[in-house]
Structure 1
Amino acid sequence: MQRPLENIRVLDFTRVLAGPYCTMLLADMGAEVIKIERPGEGDDTRQFGPFQNGESGYFVYLNRGKKSMALDLKNPHAIAAIKELVKESDVVIENFRPGVMKKLGLDYESLKELNPSLIYTSISGFGQYGPYSQRPAYDLVAQAMGGLTSITGHPEGPPTRSGASLGDMSAALYAVYGIMVALFHRERTGEGQYIDIAMTDSIIALLENNVMRYTVDNIVPVRIGSRHPISSPFDIYQAQDGYVVIAVANDSLFKKLVSVMKQPELAEDKRFHLDPLRTENETELKAIIEAWLSGYTVDEAVEIISEGGVPSSPILTIEDVCKDEHTKARNMLIEVDHPVAGSMRIPGNPVKLSQTPPIIREASPALGEHTAQVLTDVLNWDSKKLKALEEQEV
């Protein structure tokens, strides 16, 4: 089976999370991803825990299926070698602060002269232009500046970061989307192009109806805990031995819920018979639901509510998720064999394609493991030329 991105070569100058997650997804689909790392140190995440036999699980997960070249980007001979590789590549991706690649002579304007069909992607905190473009950023900054933090948490508490790095991960996904669109455009026209991805932009794009509530109704969304701002009951509720999620987003589902609660009269109650009224009287409705739930365990309540056709679930811990039969059935926890770490379980790929599914064949590379191989296979350099690079401390 030919993999979807087979014969697509990606030069990957990224590190930590957003960029490596993007290129990992490309590698899963068959792209040849050549990761350029600092000699002696490599990607920062090589030093991030947890560790297994001295190898970072963080790095193994994010860099599966890639090749590693260790090159000193401050060395002009390394830059010359990279420019030769650019001529033989399809995609370049980097997540330095804006301006760094230009100083190195590796910006899009310089490289497209060498390869006009090149697709060049930059991921940064605030993008390549705008008043904040030169500000440094991590995920926490992107979540805060994108508005997500202001609506996360409970009203009586402080603003809260999301439990996962959504700024990084959303930027990675939008970068993959941009690269796929650009590859399709190039297939039709032969033209390469530049892709500018900002973490803050990505967060804003995830805010969905929160933005429209302000632009249309001039309402500034605030922290409201786990409940939904415009639908009820849509929240986390207390049962006998823990918490139950109930998600009702229309009047039909509410009738189903009160039916399984054996309180069908609530569907005609003037406080609750329409969704906006239920949201307006959410506190009273939550008390009624939790009074009913007090007679059931979490498992009992979820079974009753779900069988009634209403979206409901327990709140699983990460341990629960990893052991869950559905996670196993969906192949969302896979094993990779690393030459040093040994067998390690990492998250799988959520994109399920019927004809060209993602294939994860290899674990992450050792630092510089493929430097000589890439220069030999891609550029046809001989041992004499490789020896010269070593002598030049490239």
Structure 2
Amino acid sequence: MCEAIGRPELGSDPRYASGPERMARADEIDALLLPALLARTAGEWFAILGDKKHPAVIVPTMETLLGQQVHRQRGAFVPVDVAGVSLEGPVVPLRLDAAGPLPGGKAPVKGAHDLYYRTSGLDHRPRRQLSRVAGKRLPLQGLRVVDLTMGWAGPLASRTLADFGAEIIKVESTGYPDWWRGANFTEAFYRDRLYEKNSNFNLMNRNKQGITLDLTRPEGKALLMQLVETADAVIENYSAEVLPKLGLDYEALRARNERLVVLSMPAFGLGNAWSNTRAYGGTLEQASGLPLYTGHPDGPPAMTSYAYGDPIGGLNGGAAILLALFVQQATGQGRHINLSQVEAMLPMAAPFMLEQSARGTVSPRQGNRHPLHTPHGCFRCAGDDAWIVLTVTDADWPALCRALDRADLAADPRLAHASGRRAEEDRIEQAIKSWCADRDAETAMELLQSAGVAAGVVRPMSQVLQDIHLRARGFWREVERAHIGRYTASTAWFRTGPQPLPIRHVAPTLGEHTEAVLSGVLGLSAEQIASLERQGITGTVAKPRQAREMA
């Protein structure tokens, strides 16, 4: 970035060496970047930064997004017929080729199928039943997945399979470990094994086995191929050009295992002009156009959350490979899932996309307000940075008035419907603010919930960790891991019974299971395994760049 703006000396300035240091000097950095960025168009910066392999995208309006050829070529926008009117909306981003999804379709008008379901002509033949898993066996137990992912999105996709019981073999190398172990490669990073102490990595990689293989060397690549021969699936989220350069693209993997399911998940998918574009979660969110339609009307584009594109991409990736494995079990056929993480974000922008398609424009941003329900927003309560959120429908309106002790609002016929309340939204919000100001957030939520109003406390993470509901469900578990000791970990958010799915294994230390996998899965001898470690093809200690080059 520093080179791109003509200030290369700042790239090695120790004041900006790490994320926290840059955050502390964010205003200084903005003062450097803003005038430099204004010197070129967004398209020019996209090309310049892309050439430098810097994560950067154009933030499109819905009009621009609907015209972007990379999405058009992929069929990302599909026709939706509503009462004879054709609109464009986002495709379901789980691409299984012949196995789906459907390329658009009709949205039924209200009651369109009442007659079908009320007549004797209904097909009463029994539907195909999914088989139940016997005993304590997890649904995906017996499946093996080779995990070539790093960061957040890819590891979340593979963790979904791990939580369901699949055997996940996570492959790193001592020279290039998962960058979510840390990316500030200081002396302390290696000396103090900080790469074993990152909570982000530990969160995303539970229930996995971890091995190390240097895939840039023939021996490491050969061992990976042997693992692929035994696997049901491979997940990778490298930049699009990485695996082909290593000779590990889909065709090479499929040649060793025809029934293999492979999930690739670059930012814009494979096989188009932007396939090599690098992106983080925040970049993905920007590329969807969503920030231009969130936030307040008088403000800049607003990110909805920190790196929102990562969990959305990871959840869609996990869903896509689950579907592909389901088809594989039924047909014996493998496939390559060409997932675009930006495309996975497009359903989040669907209301704005549909509005652009139907009207040729998009309504102004509304801040915390809702296009249908009112009042709807975030309100300050008594205490330090304490807030509640609430939303009110027409049916809820009388309950809110009772909770606020505002009979005058309840008696006003103009406020019975959302359209009337929207004209008086400022006055209504002021009444809620005044009521909240004298109450702590917990009390305000309980009073509103008791009255029948959807309301909740905006909780900082410290409170989420102590949430009585999550504690009662057993969502949080105390676990122990080498180099860290005991810590609080989450469990899977889905269940197959009354109890949480088990944490069978905490996140692996670097290369923790290399010996077990190479011997137990590939049948290597102790001497062969020791030789691989002596050659630096495997290992359990991260190597600095200089040491890697010397080796």
Common fold, TM-score beyond 0.5? yes
User: Matched residues in 1 for 2:432 and 2:288: separation?
Assistant: 34
Amino acid at match of 2:415: F
Residue pair 1:4, 1:356 contacting (<8 A) in 2 also: no
Evaluate the alpha carbon distance shift between residue 207 and residue 335 of structure 1 in structure 2; reply closer, same or farther with a 3 A threshold. Answer: farther
User: Shift of residue 264 of structure 1?
Assistant: 4.4
User: Shift of residue 10 of structure 1?
Assistant: 0.9
Which residue in 2 is equivalent to 1:184? Answer: 326
User: Shift of residue 267 of structure 1?
Assistant: 4.5
User: Matched residues in 2 for 1:382 and 1:7: separation?
Assistant: 24
State which of 384, 388, 391 in structure 2 corresponds to 1:247: 391
1:347 aligns with 2:490: yes
User: Matched residues in 2 for 1:193 and 1:393: separation?
Assistant: 33
State which of 467, 489, 504 in structure 2 corresponds to 1:361: 504
User: Matched residues in 2 for 1:38 and 1:143: separation?
Assistant: 30
TM-score, with structure 1 as normaliser = 0.91
User: Matched residues in 2 for 1:328 and 1:98: separation?
Assistant: 41
User: Shift of residue 122 of structure 1?
Assistant: 0.9
Residue pair 1:239, 1:296 contacting (<8 A) in 2 also: yes
Evaluate the alpha carbon distance shift between residue 233 and residue 302 of structure 1 in structure 2; reply closer, same or farther with a 3 A threshold. Answer: same
1:58 aligns with 2:197: no
Structure 1 window deviating more from structure 2 (358-367 vs 172-181): it is: 358-367
User: Matched residues in 1 for 2:498 and 2:337: separation?
Assistant: 28
What SS does the aligned partner of 2:338 have?
Answer: strand
Which residue in 2 is equivalent to 1:258? Answer: 401
The C-alpha deviation readout for 1:159-207, integer Å capped at 9, x for no partner, is 2323332201011100111111111111111111111222211211223
Residue pair 2:475, 2:500 contacting (<8 A) in 1 also: no
Which residue in 1 is equivalent to 2:307? Answer: 165
Evaluate the alpha carbon distance shift between residue 271 and residue 200 of structure 1 in structure 2; reply closer, same or farther with a 3 A threshold. Answer: farther
CA RMSD of aligned residues (A): 2.4
User: Shift of residue 392 of structure 1?
Assistant: 4.9
Which residue in 1 is equivalent to 2:522? Answer: 379
Structure 1 window deviating more from structure 2 (315-324 vs 281-290): it is: 281-290
Residue pair 1:48, 1:56 contacting (<8 A) in 2 also: no
What SS does the aligned partner of 1:112 have?
Answer: helix
What SS does the aligned partner of 2:400 have?
Answer: helix
Which residue in 1 is equivalent to 2:254? Answer: 112
Evaluate the alpha carbon distance shift between residue 345 and residue 165 of structure 1 in structure 2; reply closer, same or farther with a 3 A threshold. Answer: same
The C-alpha deviation readout for 1:189-241, integer Å capped at 9, x for no partner, is 11111112222112112234333333334442544322223321111123444
Which residue in 2 is equivalent to 1:234? Answer: 376
What SS does the aligned partner of 1:68 have?
Answer: strand
User: Matched residues in 2 for 1:300 and 1:24: separation?
Assistant: 37
Q: Number of aligned pairs?
A: 392
User: Matched residues in 2 for 1:302 and 1:15: separation?
Assistant: 39
User: Matched residues in 2 for 1:40 and 1:99: separation?
Assistant: 19
Mark the runs of 5 or more structure 1 residues left unpaired by the alignment: none
State which of 461, 468, 472 in structure 2 corresponds to 1:325: 468
Residue pair 2:474, 2:499 contacting (<8 A) in 1 also: no
The C-alpha deviation readout for 1:313-364, integer Å capped at 9, x for no partner, is 2221111111121121122322221022111112221112217852112111
User: Matched residues in 1 for 2:436 and 2:252: separation?
Assistant: 64
Evaluate the alpha carbon distance shift between residue 257 and residue 125 of structure 1 in structure 2; reply closer, same or farther with a 3 A threshold. Answer: same
| Structure number with bigger Rg | 2
Amino acid at match of 1:109: E
User: Shift of residue 280 of structure 1?
Assistant: 4.2
User: Shift of residue 387 of structure 1?
Assistant: 4.4
What SS does the aligned partner of 1:97 have?
Answer: coil
* Identical residues among aligned pairs (%): 31
Which residue in 2 is equivalent to 1:284? Answer: 427
Relative contact order higher in (CA < 8 Å, ≥ 6 apart): 1
State which of 75, 80, 85 in structure 1 corresponds to 2:222: 80
What SS does the aligned partner of 2:347 have?
Answer: helix
Residue pair 1:246, 1:311 contacting (<8 A) in 2 also: yes
Mark the runs of 5 or more structure 2 residues left unpaired by the alignment: 1-135, 538-551
Which residue in 2 is equivalent to 1:44? Answer: 179
User: Matched residues in 2 for 1:129 and 1:222: separation?
Assistant: 35
User: Matched residues in 2 for 1:384 and 1:302: separation?
Assistant: 64
Divergent runs of 4+, >6 A: none
Which residue in 2 is equivalent to 1:2? Answer: 137
User: Matched residues in 2 for 1:370 and 1:339: separation?
Assistant: 14
